[in-house]
Amino acid sequence: VFHSSAMDNSCRKLIFNIYIGFYCSAIILPQMCICSYFSTPSIDQFNKDAGTFPVATNGQPFPWHELRLPTVVTPLHYDLFVHPNLTSLDFVASEKIEVLVRDATQFIILHSTDLEITNATLQSEEDVRYRKPGKKLTVLSYPAHQQIALLVPEKLMADLRYYVTIDFQAKLADGFEGFYKSTYRTLGGETRTIAVTDFEPTQARMAFPCFDEPLFKASFSIKIRRESRHIALSNMPKVKTIELEGGLLEDHFETTVKMSTYLVAYIVCDFNSVSGTSSSGVKVSVYASPDKWSQTHYALEASLKLLDFYENYFDINYPLPKLDLVAIPDFESGAMENWGLITYRETSLLFDPKTSSVSDKLWVTKVVAHELAHQWFGNLVTMEWWNDIWLNEGFATYMELISANATYPELELDNYFLDLCFEVIKRDSLNSSRPISNQVETPTQIKEMFDTVSYKKGACILNMLKDFLSEEKFQKGIINYLKKFSYGNAKNDDLWSSLSNSCLEGDFTSGGFCYSDSKTTSNTLAFLEENMEVKEMMTTWTLQKGIPLVVVKQEGRSLRLQQERFLSGVFKEDPEWRALQERYLWHIPLTYSTSSSDAIHRHILKSKTDTLDLPEKTSWVKFNVDSNGYYIVHYEGHGWDQLITQLNQNHTLLRPKDRIGLIHDAFQLVSAGRLTLDKALDLTRYLQHETNIPALLKGLEYLETFYHMMDRRNISDVTENLKHYFLRYFKPVIDTQSWSDEGSVWDRMLRSVLLKLACYLNHAPCIRKATQLFSQWMESGGKLNIPTDVLKIVYSVGAQTTAGWNYLLKQYELSVSGAEKNKILYALSTSKHEEKLMKLIELGMEGKVIKTQDLAALLHAIARNPEGQQLAWNFVRENWTELLKKFGLGSFPMRMIISGTTAHFSSKDELQEVKLFFEFLKAQGSHLDVFQIVLETISKNIKWLEKNLPTLRTWLLASI
């Protein structure tokens, strides 16, 4: 099943070689065709069976019926000319594509969406040499597959090059895809328009007809015509500007390296920039709209540092002469790694010292690090097909950790990394999860691949592998991989072989393999074994969904180990549990330490059960050292009690990340019905003595989650008691927080979290201080600088009065800091007044004061507010069609809107409502993976409450 894509490809090629493409694809199922059709009807079959082909818009048969393009014709180079008009909001363009014909054919299929093609011609190399005009091509279009077919008058010959010229035009798109318009307001109140591209994964075809699949790499020479008040940017530096009659200018950009279409980019805007030069001589610039220019400096500093880091780490220089980072006022995702021209949402790039908090800084650093990593992982080496998008996104996410830890060690990003793994575990422990590598075909399915599984599980299993192989070997392996596949494409297996074949100092290579000095033959064997081991191990993580649970039982000096599939919300005693376990088996690189030895012991668990013998009897064992492994551990018998005792006696004997891991695993096991809630809560009691901030935050997070769950359901006795518990146990640390930006990164994080929670719980001193700061701020006309880490808290407290709320909304309109606007919008969304919340939604739908790009986050924030949850949910149901028009079905905002307004529900009635709505959508032909994820999450919540509410009640009563 997992390898069917490779098979499909080779079969498609086979079919084409023998010219039965039309016949097969139109008449028999392609699969059957592959197996059973070996005679070779001529291409004229097309005419005979015309009626059975897909029908093009003009009524003629369309000669191709698959979503994937044929590989008979491949692009080598694109000359692209684009002239956008920012007043009439449209563009005219033309392109000349140099293609190589691999097998004789009578048509060329390429992608094109919503482009009006005004002319298409074809020249042979000879025509070009003798300057003969092109022959006119018939253009058919088949919008269902976003394809066009160019029919040639005479057959194209194998192994020859041809030039296809296409003239086309279109409106600048309204949304966030293709070549679209974006607007911003200046400080003077003027609205200005820019034009910008965003192509990944399948939107280059909205901007120019092209072979829009990642495997079709080509070079691009781009020319942009513009007015003199604008500048034009593209992937490469400008070679020259030509002045045209009438005052228009035309920028010509250098030819790109070989690259995939989704990485092409161009922008016409009036932005300003700051620049610097990296150690290797790359010119790095950060662009923003003129009023935001002053917020670009941190990103420049970070990108210069990170670029230097990556060039060293990958041992490959960044191949382009320049790198631009641009803050786009309207942007759907967080950022996009276009080669040499990275585009960002403003809040992912700009840093305003007055309003950006420490967590904003962390975010900017992470996003810059992520997109820079893509310049190698993704741009230089690209996955063959979207089924392996994790090779891009998982790696870029993993590299955020490596690069930011090296360049900004003070951010202590590895603590953040743990959370990233914990987050995807939530999703991966539902039955509706999916394997990291997943078959996909349609644009919606492809978009759905950009999810936490690709990003976070991808990153976490890479981190686990690094821990298994050693840092040095891992790095060598990815260098091999990048060098071997530069300017090309790769798949999972290519990565595994590179990683298991990394040469260390003193080794030598031959035939792409790695040998140590002596004993070549035996080393070859060792290599082969190791290669198999890595590949075998890693495919259990990439081709299989879910996360394993390792159950450990200590019997004297013996440890009995057992692995099963971890499922939250399904208990072992449930009838469906057994079936859900079937055929799951992982190769788990276990690590552990014990009370008598803090050395890291290793063992690979490849079977369902196994036994380990300890050298001596120990009072506890802790598996998954530093939480580097992607598995959950359950200690049967007295295992948990022994660990809890140790935490209470002297928690520092366990490493900080082990303490965090224990807290995490314990609460996960509660969701799976394997540990009682009071046991997990007992484990957190030691936190009174915890000085490691990330560990403290982890414990707080669970208390907060429970609080929100109870608050939404109005279970007021429990919320009251949780509040007392929190304010009592954390009083010493709450009371010592200052309202400032002082301290280390994690001191500052703790302050934000603690004060936010304290004010949320109406802790009087917190409210008093916040109210005081808010009034001072209002009195100063918004000029007073409030410490950035408490800004959101102060605004949120201020937003509880009508005067405060109205004032904040006014400031929202005026602010030129995206970081501040986000904080204000959040504060506005915490109001208890439905009419105010409704007003926000209306503004978000209108898209002027509150931009459409912020609507998904707004709806999510309102749904988190107990007073807003019903409102947001009803709104989404009633305005589904409107929302769908703004964001595509599989898009990130749409998925966020769905899960953000539903996944917190925890009653049967709510589950029923959500189910009905999803069924209604499915009947309309809308289907998303997120539907099933949401339904399972709600069921899990219901079950959690049923099982644990009484325990929580009793435990709290006993504890306060």
Partner in contact with 214, chosen from Zn ion, ligand BES, none, beta carbon below 5 to 8 Å by kind? none
From the list ligand BES, Zn ion, none, which binds 367 (C-beta under 5 to 8 Å, kind-based)? ligand BES
370 annotated to a ligand binding site: yes
Distance CA 837, CA 849 (A): 15
| Bridge partner list, 162 | 99, 124
The item of Zn ion, ligand BES, none sharing an interface with residue 333, based on CB under 5 to 8 Å by kind, is: ligand BES
Q: Which residues contact 864 (CB under 8 A, 6 or more apart)?
A: 708, 829, 900, 904
For Zn ion, give the closer residue by CB, 231 or 396.
396
Give the strand pairing for 381-383 and 488-490: parallel
Stretch that binds Zn ion, among 66-74, 387-395, 435-443, 498-506 (CB under 5 A): 387-395
Out of Zn ion, ligand BES, none, what residue 450 binds, judged by CB under 5 to 8 A for its kind, is ligand BES
- The size of the chain, in residues, is 960
Residue linked to tokens 């932005």: 271
**Smallest distance from the beta carbon of 402 to Zn ion, in angstroms?**
15
Task: Tell me how far, at minimum, the Cβ of 890 lies from ligand BES, in Å.
Answer: 9
**Which lies closer to ligand BES via its Cβ, residue 396 or residue 759?**
396
Number of residues binding to Zn ion, judged by CB under 5 A: 2
Q: Which of 254, 332, 371, 690 is catalytic?
A: 371
Pick from 473, 500, 460: nearest CA to 624: 460
- Shortest reach from residue 199's CB to ligand BES, in Å: 9
Least Cα distance to 384 among 12, 82, 722, 9 occurs for 9
Task: Provide, rounded to whole angstroms, the least separation between the CB of residue 913 and ligand BES.
Answer: 29
Q: What is the DSSP string of 513-541?
A: EEE-SS-HHHHHHHHHHHHHHHHHHHHHH
Q: Is 234 helix (H, G, I), strand (E, B) or coil?
A: strand
Contact, 696 vs 690, CB < 8 A? yes
DSSP 210: B
745 strand-pairing partners: none
Look at residue 434 and give the partner it binds from ligand BES, Zn ion, none, a contact being a CB closer than 5 to 8 Å depending on partner kind: none
CB atoms within 10 A of CB 649: 9
Q: Which is nearer to ligand BES, 426 or 839 (CB)?
A: 426
Least CB distance to ligand BES at residue 483 (A):
22
Radius of gyration of the chain (CA): 29
Residue 759, class by beta-carbon neighbours within 10 Å (0-12 exposed, 13-18 middle, 19+ buried)? buried
* Binding-site partner at residue 651 among Zn ion, ligand BES, none, CB < 5 to 8 Å by type: none
Instruction: Give Dmax (Cα) for the chain.
Output: 92
For residues 356 and 830, give the distance between their C-alpha atoms in angstroms, rounded to a whole number.
Answer: 20
Place of tokens 């080598």: 76
Q: Is 393 in the site for Zn ion (CB under 5 A)?
A: yes
Between 378 and 804, name the residue whose CB sits nearer to ligand BES. Answer: 378
Looking at the Cβ atoms of 182 and 500, the one nearer to ligand BES is: 182
579 Cα distance to chain centroid: 31
Q: Annotate 787-822 with DSSP letters as a single string.
A: -HHHHHHHHHHHTTSHHHHHHHHHHHHH---HHHHH
State how beta strands 341-345 and 322-328 pair: parallel
Q: How far is the CB of 282 from Zn ion (least distance, A)?
A: 20
Distance in Å, CB of 395 to Zn ion, minimum: 9
Angstrom CA distances, 729 to 722, 738, 765, 863, 956, stand at 10, 18, 16, 29, 12
Q: Which is nearer to ligand BES, 337 or 820 (CB)?
A: 337
Least separation in angstroms between residue 450's CB and Zn ion is 8
Q: Which is nearer to ligand BES, 369 or 687 (CB)?
A: 369
CA distance 634 to 199: 45
Q: Residue 213: which of ligand BES, Zn ion, none does it interact with, CB under 5 to 8 A by kind?
A: none
Which range touches Zn ion (CB under 5 A), out of 262-270, 338-346, 390-398, 588-596? 390-398
371 is catalytic: yes
Instruction: Give me the residues that bind ligand BES (CB under 6 A), please.
Output: 200-201, 333-337, 366-367, 370-371, 374, 393, 396, 450, 892
Tokens of 349: 């790039």
Q: Given candidates 396, 495, 894, 935, which one binds Zn ion under the rule CB under 5 A? A: 396
Cβ contact 538:496 at 8 Å: yes
Dist. CA 778–CA 775, nearest whole Å: 5
443 binds, among ligand BES, Zn ion, none (CB under 5 to 8 A by kind): none
Bridge partners of 111, per DSSP, are 147, 210
**28 closest CA partner among 15, 41, 37, 40:** 37
- Does the annotation list 919 as a binding residue? no
Residue 204 or 495 with smaller CB distance to ligand BES? 204
Per the structure block, which two tokens stand in for 51?
Answer: 């009626």
Nearest CA to 329 among 197, 184, 173, 176? 184
Distance CA 806, CA 794 (A): 15
Q: Give the number of other Cβ atoms within 10 Å of residue 641's Cβ.
A: 14
Give whichever of 459 and 773 is closer to ligand BES, judged by the CB atom.
459
Query: What is the smallest separation between the CB atom of 232 and ligand BES, expressed in angstroms?
Result: 22
Q: Write down the residue that tokens 């006119």 correspond to.
A: 136
Which C-beta is closer to ligand BES: that of 147 or that of 444?
444
Rounded Cα gap, residues 56 and 50, in angstroms = 11
Task: Indicate which of Zn ion, ligand BES, none lies near residue 336 (CB less than 5 to 8 Å, by partner kind).
Answer: ligand BES
On the CB side of 767, CA atoms within 13 Å amount to 8
Residue 335 contact among ligand BES, Zn ion, none, beta carbon within 5 to 8 Å by kind: ligand BES
Cis peptide before 201 (omega within 30 of 0): yes
CB 370 → Zn ion: shortest distance, Å?
A: 5
Cα 366 to Cα 363, 373, 421: the distances in Å are 5, 10, 16
Binding characters for Zn ion, 70-109, by CB under 5 A (x = yes)? ----------------------------------------
Cβ nearer to ligand BES, comparing 473 with 886: 886
Cβ 131 to Zn ion, closest distance in Å? 44
Is 724 annotated to bind a ligand? Reply is no
Backbone angles phi, psi at 675, to 5 degrees: -135, 145
* Helix-strand-coil split of the chain, %, nearest 5: 50, 20, 30
> Which segments are annotated as binding site for Zn(2+)?
370, 374, 393
> Which segments are annotated as binding site?
370, 374, 393
Please list the active-site residues: 371
**Where along the sequence are the contacts to Zn ion (CB under 5 A)?**
393, 396
